[in-house]
Structure 1
Amino acid sequence: MAGNSDVNPQVTDEVTQTNVTVIGESPAQAMGTLYQIAAQAAGIAISNANANQGNLNALNPTIVAQAIKIISK
């Protein structure tokens, strides 16, 4: 097919090699992206858990005080 073209065969060979390189590297790129997304999601989940724990620790004295107030009535 490349022999029927008016384009220099070296150009078509280089384009073919570039396409093969891109296609060959795409699974590694996809896995790298997947790992980055998974790490970011895990980091955000840990950050949210930490923030929630801090918020509950701030509310605990109020909750205990209200429970004592109800019990002592």
Structure 2
Amino acid sequence: MNLANINSNSTSANEGTVNAQMTDNITQTSVMTLGSSAAVAMSRLYQAVTDSLSQSIQNATFAQQQSNLIHQAATTQGVNLIYAVDTASVGGATEQVARARVI
């Protein structure tokens, strides 16, 4: 289509009419926007859910790491407590329990 045909088909702004090509263009844009809105909404929903799940997985990993540190510290403290007990007194108490046949 050449410029002469476009200019001959269009009306002037003073006449108060709208060019049919402009009306068609706006209608097509509106239809395209309405048609793609559901897909855009779903994609945003999927992105939000994915972000939430990834954040919860990161939080679970961090909590597990912290739990492992606490368990290691408790185990170390327990082993230190076992090693700190005097073995002679433990042996004497064990012998008394064995002689009393309380086991």
Instruction: Flag whether TM exceeds 0.5 (same fold).
Output: yes
TM-score of the superposed pair, with normalisation by structure 1: 0.77
Indicate which of 28, 48, 55 corresponds to 2:59: 48
State the 1:7 CA deviation: 1.4
Identify unmatched segments of 5+ residues in structure 1. none
| AA aligned opposite 1:27 | A
Q: Which residue of structure 2 lines up, in the alignment, with residue 63 of structure 1?
A: 74
State the 1:29 CA deviation: 0.6
Q: How does 1:1-73 map to 2 (within 5 A)?
A: 6-64=17-75, 65=77
The number of residue pairs the alignment matches comes to 65
SS of 1:7's equivalent in the other structure is coil
State the 1:63 CA deviation: 3.1
> What root-mean-square deviation, in Å, do the aligned CA atoms of Structure 1 and Structure 2 show?
1.9
Higher-RCO chain (CA-CA 8 Å, sequence separation at least 6): 1
More helix by share: 1
TM-score of the superposed pair, with normalisation by structure 2: 0.56
| AA aligned opposite 2:57 | I
Superposition misfits of 4+ residues, deviation over 6 angstroms: none
